Structure 1
Amino acid sequence: AKATVGEISEAIERSQGRHQAIIRSIKGVYGGGVKGTEKADEALSLAAAFEKKHGRKPKVYIAKMGQDGHDRGQKVVASALMDLGWDVEIGPLFQTPEEAAADARKAEVDIVAASSLAAGHLTLVPELKRALGNEGAANARIIVGGVIPPQDFDALYAAGASAIFPPGTVIADSALKMLEILTGGDDGTKTAAE
């Protein structure tokens, strides 16, 4: 063909359009499994208190940035957080930090969750922090989840991460921590800015 992969890809995109994956989450599966457990009930209660105080549910944008094409965990976490009282926006695969920040600003989220399985977190999280500032969304908190080596935690916190959730984190625990970040650790009725 005497063309590069990039040239072939561009030709296909021009003639066929760019593929856009449809991202779906499922409500009720996680909630049905954890209903009545102490942590899930506490997470639901705190999310309800946040909603009562602010007139809306706590809201998170789950971003898949860079070359990370692993989205199963993103969908599981999104579905679980919805069952725990959150409003969840799911970003498409392969976003740039700038695209994720723009989507997060448009969605008016409280938290941007950077999901990372492809080891790009040390570059992408600082870029996301800058991009959120450039978008006028510097108040959105950043959390990081996925395969994150413990030796990277300090660098991620220094880059602006408010929390890190490595493999094995119980989703109800992450929801509780996220609500603590938003409320300053009270009963969910106070924002971090108050």
Structure 2
Amino acid sequence: AIDNTAVRNGQIKRLEDVRRQRDPKRVAAALAVMEEAAETGEGNLLEVAIEAARARATVGEISDAMRQAFGDHSAVPEVVSDIYGPAYEDDPEYKTIVSRLGSYAQTLGSKPKIMVAKLGQDGHDRGAKVIASAFGDIGFEVLAGPLFQTPEEAADLAVREKVQVVGMSSLAAGHKTLAPQLVQALKDRQAENVIVVVGGVVPRQDYDYLMEHGVAAVFGPGTNVLDAANSIIDLLEGKRRNI
């Protein structure tokens, strides 16, 4: 398993070393040129970014210089429907799960709502989109959260949208930090009834840690979509199960 805390601390140390060894005036001048190029649209932005990097400006500082002019990019995934369903409509297991979820929704009075969340700097969203689309076809109401959320932002969105389940997609080794923070953020908002599950590249040896910190189920590499859906229905019905 990757110790993301050690990786983060090591990167902070390297950044501190870079800042200590560089020429602050040269960095400031290079970043000022970048800001001007971004704001005016004059000059080659890539060229001045490279010059800023040569002056040992960090990626964060270079990004901030452009952010002054362009603002933040907001990536909001869209959920595509009618892809998974038509491909599996004749599958007996698929039919059983759709029927089971339909019965649960009838009892609930509405479709159960699940939010697929991408937290931190993990921008790998293809798997999350596949799950969101498949679960939508199965019968869940699906909310695809924006990329790069903090646990607190995800918790705010989950509470605002009144979801029953948050599925955190983790493909960048941040699960041992971000998942417990998400669970705590929900508790802080009196939303501890929201079920948190984690899916993605999660080593088997990390499962117990996540479960001990409030995660209800972990879906690792190779998990069958229908098995995952069945597990989440179990959780909604109060049966704790992990696969």
Instruction: Provide the TM-score with structure 2 as the length reference.
Output: 0.73
Mapped partners of 1:159, 1:7: distance in 2: 35
Counterparts of 1:102-113 in structure 2 under 5 Å?
102-113=156-167
1:45 matched residue in structure 2:
99
Q: In the TM superposition, what is the alpha-carbon distance from 1:29 to its structure 2 partner?
A: 0.6
Q: Does residue 1:77 correspond to 2:131, yes or no?
A: yes
Mapped partners of 1:160, 1:38: distance in 2: 33
Q: In the TM superposition, what is the alpha-carbon distance from 1:8 to its structure 2 partner?
A: 2.9
The structure, 1 or 2, with the larger RCO (C-alpha pairs under 8 Å, 6+ apart) is 1
Q: Does residue 1:147 correspond to 2:195, yes or no?
A: no
Mapped partners of 1:155, 1:149: distance in 2: 11
1:87 matched residue in structure 2:
141
Residues 77 and 146, structure 2, Cα contact 8 Å, conserved in 1: yes
2:157 alignment partner AA: D
Q: In the TM superposition, what is the alpha-carbon distance from 1:110 to its structure 2 partner?
A: 0.7
Deviation per CA, 1:42-83: give whole Å up to 9, x if none: 221121112111111011111111111100000000000000
Question: Percent identity over the alignment?
Answer: 44
Counterparts of 1:108-123 in structure 2 under 5 Å?
108-123=162-177
Name stretches of at least 5 consecutive residues in structure 2 with no aligned partner: 1-25, 32-56
2:98 alignment partner AA: L
SS at 2:216's partner residue? strand
Residues 76 and 144, structure 2, Cα contact 8 Å, conserved in 1: no
Q: After TM superposition, where is structure 1 displaced by more than 4 Å over at least 4 residues in a row?
A: none
SS at 1:161's partner residue? coil
2:221 alignment partner AA: P
Residues 105 and 136, structure 1, Cα contact 8 Å, conserved in 2: no
Greater helix fraction, Structure 1 or Structure 2: 2
1:25 alignment partner AA: V
Q: In the TM superposition, what is the alpha-carbon distance from 1:39 to its structure 2 partner?
A: 2.0
Name stretches of at least 5 consecutive residues in structure 1 with no aligned partner: 186-194
1:190 matched residue in structure 2:
none
2:190 matched residue in structure 1:
136
Mapped partners of 1:22, 1:175: distance in 2: 23
Q: In the TM superposition, what is the alpha-carbon distance from 1:131 to its structure 2 partner?
A: 0.2
Residues paired across the two proteins, number: 185
Decide whether aligned partners of structure 1 residues 22 and 98 sit closer, same or farther in structure 2, where only a CA change above 3 A counts. closer
C-alpha RMSD over aligned residues? 1.3
Q: Does residue 1:34 correspond to 2:88, yes or no?
A: yes
Instruction: Provide the TM-score with structure 1 as the length reference.
Output: 0.91
Mapped partners of 1:96, 1:110: distance in 2: 19
Q: In the TM superposition, what is the alpha-carbon distance from 1:127 to its structure 2 partner?
A: 0.5
Mapped partners of 1:54, 1:106: distance in 2: 19
Equivalent position to 1:175, from 229, 235, 238: 229
Mapped partners of 2:91, 2:184: distance in 1: 39
Q: In the TM superposition, what is the alpha-carbon distance from 1:7 to its structure 2 partner?
A: 3.0
Residues 116 and 145, structure 1, Cα contact 8 Å, conserved in 2: yes
1:34 alignment partner AA: Y
2:109 alignment partner AA: G
